[in-house]
Structure 1
Amino acid sequence: MRRTDKYPVEGPNSLWQVYRTVSRWKAIRNFIFIQISRYAPSLPLKRWIYRHVLGMKVGEHASFALMVMVDVFFPERIEVGNNTIIGYNSTILTHEYLIKEYRLGNVRIGSHVMIGANTTILPGVTIGDHAIIGAGSVVHKDVAPYSFVAGNPLRVLRDDVRNDQPDDERDE
């Protein structure tokens, strides 16, 4: 279940009213620094920008791969734990602008989480510690710790990955 706050709007769809919800200057500043981070090869530089410019909570040794797109308007609503990997070209959203309303929700990604490439994480979800998200997934609901999930719609492939052995150990 996603936890989002809903804000109704009058008149045209909510995206036309975006600058009533967020400052233009904040959006421009965030966009510039997010684009720098998307292309920067330096993980410490990315973490510094996310923490000190965008206001995200980012744990030690958290790694954001090339082309990761974090929410432009509300990146401060993103929290990523220690030693987590966010895969290539993934998107983390904390807002959604709809026809008659917009919604905001925090995204919490635990520690030691592996998020595969091209994954989209929607507002208001929590991903538990040690979870694995398969590439190309749409995370539209909470993910339990130690679970392996994938797909669109998101499905649980394994409830607990603690007992899994690496492929090279299974063959012996």
Structure 2
Amino acid sequence: MRKTDRYKVKDANSLWRIYKTVPFLKVVKNFIVIQIARYTPFLSVKNWLYRTFLRMDVGKQTSFALMVMPDIMFPERIKVGNNSIIGYNTTLLAHEYLIEEYRIGDVIIGDNVLVGANTTILPGVTIGDNAVVSAASLVHKNVPPGAFVGGNPMKIIYTKEEMEARAEKS
């Protein structure tokens, strides 16, 4: 189960009340910063933009590929550890607006994690150290440290122990 805070709404769907949950100017600022970062080829500049303007917790030597889309409303709820790679066009969501409620949750990505291209990570998910997420995955639950996961919805392909056994055979 993902760890999110849930907020019920009445009268209209939760997205209709978006600017009651997050200030409009914050969203505008975040949009501009994210668009600049999505296209810049300089990894250190991306990390600086994320840390400075979005208050994301980004580890040393972490790499965000071209077109990565951090959460536009709550980027400060995203933490990425050291030496991790977030693949091309990946979406990191810290919020989800539903019909009768909205949810907000931290996204925590450990150290030495590889997230493949075109992956979506939902709010409230933790990805453990040394994990690998295959391309085009929907990460809807926690990923154990050292595991290899993938698919839509995501499933564990190999556990850490199975990955180590495979490495010993080769």
TM-score greater than 0.5 by the shorter chain: yes
Q: Secondary structure at the match of 2:164?
A: coil
| Paired residue type of 1:83 | N
Asked if residue 162 in structure 1 is aligned to residue 164 in structure 2, the reply is yes
Deviations 1:3-35 (A, max 9, x none): 000001111101010000000000000000000
| Paired residue type of 1:10 | K
**Partner in structure 2 of residue 141 of structure 1:** 141
Asked if residue 53 in structure 1 is aligned to residue 59 in structure 2, the reply is no
Q: TM-score, normalised by structure 1?
A: 0.95
Deviations 1:89-117 (A, max 9, x none): 00000000000110000000000000000
Structure 2: which 5+ runs fail to align? none
**Partner in structure 2 of residue 29 of structure 1:** 29
Divergent runs of 4+, >4 A: none
Distance 2:78 2:164 in 1: 26
Distance 2:107 2:118 in 1: 17
- CA drift of 1:165 comes to 3.7
1:1-172 pair list within 5 angstroms? 1-160=1-160, 161-165=163-167, 170=170
Greater helix share, 1 or 2? 2
| Paired residue type of 2:101 | E
- CA drift of 1:164 comes to 4.1
Deviations 1:22-62 (A, max 9, x none): 00000000000000000000000000011010000000000
Distance 1:40 1:153 in 2: 31
Distance 2:26 2:165 in 1: 45
Distance 1:163 1:49 in 2: 40
Distance 1:124 1:165 in 2: 31
- CA drift of 1:153 comes to 1.4
Q: Give me the identity figure in percent.
A: 57
Distance 1:11 1:137 in 2: 34
